[in-house]
Amino acid sequence: MSKPELPQSISEVIRIGKGPSRIIFRDNIPDLVESPLIESCCKLFDKGIQTVSTSANNQDNNLAHIQIDFNSLSEDNKSIALSLNPSIVDTPQDGTPSVYVTFEHSLDNCTPQGIEDWSVDIANEFQSQAAKWVPHFTLQEGIDNHYFGPTTIENGDFYLDQAEKDGYYYSDRDGGLFFFSPDHRQLYYQGE
């Protein structure tokens, strides 16, 4: 993913308007996050940290923010998050606790580059961790939820190579888990 060119003024950053969104897939970040926060959200994702909401646009009432799922953090990252003097609030999606880090700015004297620099500094504070929040399922759950097509399970036989062709990525660790992307598989076990 190439880095988007930042506008000169925060007043030029249009609100995406999709509402708070948990970042599940790295490729979706540019569709869910305004340009000044894309780089930091990519860094957080790559470190196994789940972002649940962000804002840095011309309608954010002079308050850019990054919101991170607190329960998904490792113990070390929880300590780091709390050292940032955040608010602890409920996530918009399900009410679980999240770390809400804000950056006060003025539309008149703040640039998107300034917000990007702030947010990248925040992301750099965190350590890489295993992302146990990424979607995953067992073979039985995949069968029960009809994830696998007829060419993956035929006459009661399971074909792992066909599962990967269908977009399900297997790991034999933890009794055998499937993931929706190779990135998810790698992030789930990161640092172990």
Counting residues of the chain whose pLDDT is more than 70, the rounded percentage is 95
Domain total of the chain = 2
Write the Ramachandran bin of 89: left for phi over 0, alpha for psi from -120 to 50, otherwise beta: beta
What is the per-residue pLDDT for 74?
95
- Confidence class for position 38, pLDDT limits 50, 70, 90: very high
Same domain, 142 and 120: no
What pTM did the predictor assign?
0.88
Comparison of pLDDT for 3 and 181, the residue scoring more = 181
Same domain, 72 and 92: yes
- Confidence class for position 87, pLDDT limits 50, 70, 90: confident
| Domain-embedded: residue 3 | no
What is the per-residue pLDDT for 157?
81
| Domain-embedded: residue 20 | yes
| Domain-embedded: residue 78 | yes
Tens-place pLDDT, residues 134-174? 999 999 998 898 888 888 888 778 888 888 888 899 998 88
Burial class (CB in 10 A: 0-12, 13-18, 19+), 43: middle
Q: CA-CA distance, 79 to 125, in Å (whole number)?
A: 11
Torsion of CA 66, 3, 114, 110, to 10 degrees: -90
The owner of tokens 């994702």 is: 45
The amino acid sitting at 134 is V
| Domain-embedded: residue 5 | no
Q: Which two tokens stand for residue 167?
A: 């977009």
- Please give the helix or strand (H or E) that residue 34 lies within, else none: none
What is the per-residue pLDDT for 70?
93
Q: CA-CA distance, 132 to 75, in Å (whole number)?
A: 13
Same domain, 111 and 178: no
Same domain, 28 and 93: yes
Q: CA-CA distance, 56 to 23, in Å (whole number)?
A: 16
Same domain, 106 and 79: yes
Comparison of pLDDT for 110 and 99, the residue scoring more = 99
Same domain, 102 and 25: yes
Comparing C-alpha atoms, which of 81, 95, 113, 91 is closest to residue 23? 91
Q: Which of 125, 147, 164 is the last residue of a domain?
A: 125
Same domain, 70 and 15: yes
Comparing C-alpha atoms, which of 189, 55, 28, 46 is closest to residue 115? 55
What is the per-residue pLDDT for 121?
94
Q: Which two tokens stand for residue 4?
A: 């988007």
What is the per-residue pLDDT for 77?
95
Query: Range of 168's domain?
Result: 136-189
| Domain-embedded: residue 148 | yes
Tens-place pLDDT, residues 50-68? 999 888 888 877 778 899 9
Q: Which of 103, 125, 147 is the last residue of a domain?
A: 125
Same domain, 78 and 100: yes
Same domain, 121 and 153: no
Same domain, 146 and 102: no
- Confidence class for position 106, pLDDT limits 50, 70, 90: low
Same domain, 77 and 101: yes
- Confidence class for position 108, pLDDT limits 50, 70, 90: low
